[in-house]
């Protein structure tokens, strides 16, 4: 049985004092869950989030990473740096980074490898645009992104990769993919992984859904056969709302 993994992506929100207040309110609300809970926070909040989640069941992730270990890359942060302060997860290839910062399938793959070299767990985002969806290219797009992101990884690394299927048209729009639709897309991603890495690996990979997840639709989405939790943007900014999503099965 795959575990449900529910991650909040705060994006560019939350000052350190807000992050601390959030975690204080959020921690008791999710302490009894069997689901994995991750907060992916801005770089400046990482240290505060790590300190304030010590001894709790909440894990901390970053939202991006550079693929080189160190060097003249002004403004960037490496996987080694993230690991050195105790970060465990990192989002890679979010559609906003692909769209605004020229993230490519190639750089995503390099970042995934850098994450594993430093013992960080990558959460790799894939998803089609509205145009691609309307042209019937959803499966082609998401299976290609998945294949290229995972290229050159070992079976055990693939097992430890979290994929987040986030249809771009559903991000921040209030439009959620239907649970059936999202589940079908995720099945296609799993099939692609099975083709390359075999069934045993594919059966273990956590594949989340992201795009306007909220407490009112989490249960329906997460109870499908192949959706293993969610990557939650806007609704993760309020501790009580995000806790309801984490506790969807209570
Ligand atoms: P929303 O939940 O705000 O639609 O954002 C989804 C997302 O991009 C998470 O990474």
In the prediction, which pLDDT does 175 show?
86
Report the atom number in ligand 1 closest to the C-alpha of 173: 4
Residues in a beta bridge with 7: 38, 231
The residues, ordered by sequence, that sit 6+ positions from 101 with a Cβ below 8 Å of its Cβ are: none
Q: What is the pLDDT of residue 60?
A: 98
Q: What is the pLDDT of residue 176?
A: 84
State the DSSP code for 197.
Answer: H
pLDDT, averaged in runs of 10, over the chain (250 residues): 96 98 98 98 98 98 98 98 98 98 98 98 97 96 98 98 97 90 98 98 98 97 98 98 98
- Break the chain into its structural domains and give their ranges: 5-246
Supply the pLDDT for residue 244: 98
The angle at the Cα of 211, spanning 201 to 226, to the nearest 5 degrees, equals 30
Distance from C-alpha of 235 to C-alpha of 220, rounded to nearest angstrom: 16
pTM of the model: 0.98
CATH superfamily of this structure's domain 5-246: Aldolase class I (3.20.20.70)
> How many residues are given for the chain?
250
Tell me the helix, strand and coil percentages in the chain, rounded to 5.
50, 15, 35
Q: In angstroms, what is the span from residue 181 Cα to ligand 1's centroid?
A: 17
Contact by Cβ (8 Å): 54, 48: no
Q: Is-contact 209 182, C-beta < 8 A?
A: yes
Q: Which helix (H) or strand (E) holds 40?
A: strand 36-40
User: For residue 55, what are its two tokens?
Assistant: 């001894």
Distance from the CA of 72 to the center of ligand 1, in angstroms? Answer: 32
User: Which of 25, 38, 35 has the alpha carbon at shortest distance from 121?
Assistant: 38
Say how far apart CA 197 and CA 204 lie, in whole Å: 11
Q: What integer pLDDT is reported at residue 1 of this predicted model? A: 82
Is the C-beta atom of 6 inside 6 A of ligand 1?
A: no
Which residue do the tokens 């969610």 mark? 230
Tokens of 90: 């990192």
Between CA 250 and CA 243 the distance in angstroms is 11
Question: What distance in angstroms lies between residue 137's CA and the mean position of ligand 1's atoms?
Answer: 22
231 C-beta closer than 6 A to ligand 1 = yes
Cβ of 202 closer than 6 Å to ligand 1, yes or no, is no
Tell me which residues are annotated as active site: 94, 166
| Dihedral pair phi/psi, residue 216, rounded to 5° | -80, -15
């Amino acid at each position: 049985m795959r575990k449900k993994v529910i991650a909040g992506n705060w994006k560019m929100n939350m000052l350190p004092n807000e992050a601390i207040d959030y975690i204080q309110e959020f921690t008791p609300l999710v302490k009894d869950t069997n689901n994995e809970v991750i907060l992916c926070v801005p770089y400046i909040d990482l240290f505060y989030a790590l300190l304030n989640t010590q001894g709790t069941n909440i894990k901390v992730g970053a939202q991006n990473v550079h693929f080189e270990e160190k060097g003249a890359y002004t403004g960037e942060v490496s996987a080694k740096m993230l690991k050195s302060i105790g970060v465990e997860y990192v989002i890679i290839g979010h559609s906003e980074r692909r769209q605004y910062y020229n993230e490519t399938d190639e750089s995503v793959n390099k970042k995934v490898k850098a994450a594993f070299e430093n013992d960080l767990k990558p959460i790799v985002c894939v998803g089609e645009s509205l145009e691609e969806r309307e042209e019937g290219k959803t499966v082609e797009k998401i299976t290609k992104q998945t294949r290229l992101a995972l290229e050159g990884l070992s079976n055990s690394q693939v097992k430890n990769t979290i994929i987040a299927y986030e249809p771009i048209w559903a991000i921040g729009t209030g439009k959620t993919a239907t649970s059936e639709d999202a589940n079908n897309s995720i099945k296609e991603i799993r099939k692609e992984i099975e083709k390359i890495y075999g069934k045993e690996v594919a059966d273990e990979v956590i594949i989340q859904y992201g795009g306007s997840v909220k407490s009112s639709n989490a249960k329906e989405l997460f109870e499908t056969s192949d959706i293993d939790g969610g990557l939650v943007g806007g609704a993760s900014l309020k501790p009580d709302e995000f806790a309801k999503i984490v506790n969807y099965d209570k």
